[in-house]
Amino acid sequence: MIHSIWSTPHLTSCKSMTRCTILAIFLLASITATCGAQGGSPAFEARQSARAAQNKLDWQISVAAYTFRKFTFFETVDMVAQLGLDRIEGFSFQKISQESPTPLNPLTMSDEQFEKVLRKLRESRVRLIALYYGRFPADEATCQTVFEKSKKLGVKYFVSEPDPSLLPMLDKLGQQYGMIVGLHGHDKKSSPDTWHPALVAKHCQAFSSAVGAFSDTGHWIRSELDPSDGVAILKDRIVGFEIHDLDAFNASGRGVPLGSGVGNLPEMLETLARVKKGPVLLSIECHSDPDNPVDGVKKSLEFLDAQAMRLAKLAP
């Protein structure tokens, strides 16, 4: 993820035919999505064996909404449901919808906007399981409001780069609300406290399981860090990943569907299955085509499903 806000034009004034076509397809399919991904969508049912394998490994699969950053949150929910998934990682600066172009920020949403988001998630049967919330407020009462409202939306994991001085407070609030603050990082320059897995592991040591590692494999690869080595360093402090593959093992790397790049993700997932006991959220992030992200996410999901079925056979 990055910290800039992408503007999303109104559906009736699309900048490209590609985007209009994508939205038309998924709006046509929204009746199915409204019936629910769970137990209703053919794509969801087709993944039954893969979901059973992921349950055995204690993996949960979601999509990072930043992959759909040129679309609104509501449009993203529809597309995620149609892909056969029932979990999403939102980001706090994505526009809610064309009708409510304010950010998906629990702290700043109006009561009406909050209820619309709840209704959309409920009707689509998609859970907002995680929320990228880059920086938490220093004031504890304000921070408590973020936790309280986010939990009402279904959030279990925050993906964040908080000031280290706030970690004691965030640990306390995480325990209080039964939520997890996942420490995230970008490159060394922009994330000096969390860019390397060893730094994240050190930050986590002093705190409960309400503070863990939610790393981005894409940023590891750009920093020339092997994802499998990162997993081995973090071990049980892992709570999730924005799982991301690139076409080059350096800062020039560009996003590609999972398993088709240089990240050696099968080895990373083998290491994960070996060293991490307990739930892990794998949030697909694929930037191969921001204007038409569906195909890249679909290929990435197929990769994760195949890896889960392979590794579940090896699990005791």
Global pTM reads: 0.87
Question: What is the 3-class SS of the chain, one letter each residue?
Answer: CCCCCCCCCCHHHCCCHHHHHHHHHHHHCHHHHHHCCCCCCHHHHHCHHHHHHHHHHCEEEEEEHHHHCCCCHHHHHHHHHHCCCCEEEEECCCECCCCCCCECCCCCCCHHHHHHHHHHHHHHCCEEEEEECCCCCCCHHHHHHHHHHHHHCCCCEEEECCCHHHHHHHHHHHHHHCCEEEECCCCCCCCCCCCCHHHHHHHHCCCCCCEEEEEEHHHHHHCCCCHHHHHHHHHHHEEEEEECEECCCCCCCCEECCCCCCCCHHHHHHHHHHHCCCCEEEEECCCCCCCCCHHHHHHHHHHHHHHHHHHHHHCC
Calpha distance 82→251 (Å, rounded): 33
Query: 11-314, what's its fold?
Result: TIM Barrel (3.20.20)
Mean pLDDT by 10 residues, the chain (316 residues): 40 46 47 44 81 96 96 96 94 95 95 96 96 95 97 98 96 98 95 96 97 98 97 97 97 96 97 95 94 95 96 89
Distance CA 183, CA 237 (A): 10
| Distance of alpha carbon 285 from alpha carbon 184, whole angstroms | 14
Model pLDDT, residue 29: 44
Handedness of CA 135, 249, 302, 295 (dihedral sign): positive
Q: What integer pLDDT is reported at residue 23 of this predicted model?
A: 53
For residue 44, what pLDDT is reported? 78
The Cα–Cα gap between 118 and 164 comes to 32
166 Cβ contact partners less than 8 Å away, ≥ 6 residues apart: 136, 138, 143
Q: Give CA–CA dist 166/38, Å, rounded.
A: 38
Q: Which residues of 146-160 are buried (b: 16+ CB within 10 A; e: fewer)?
A: bbeebeebbbbbbbb
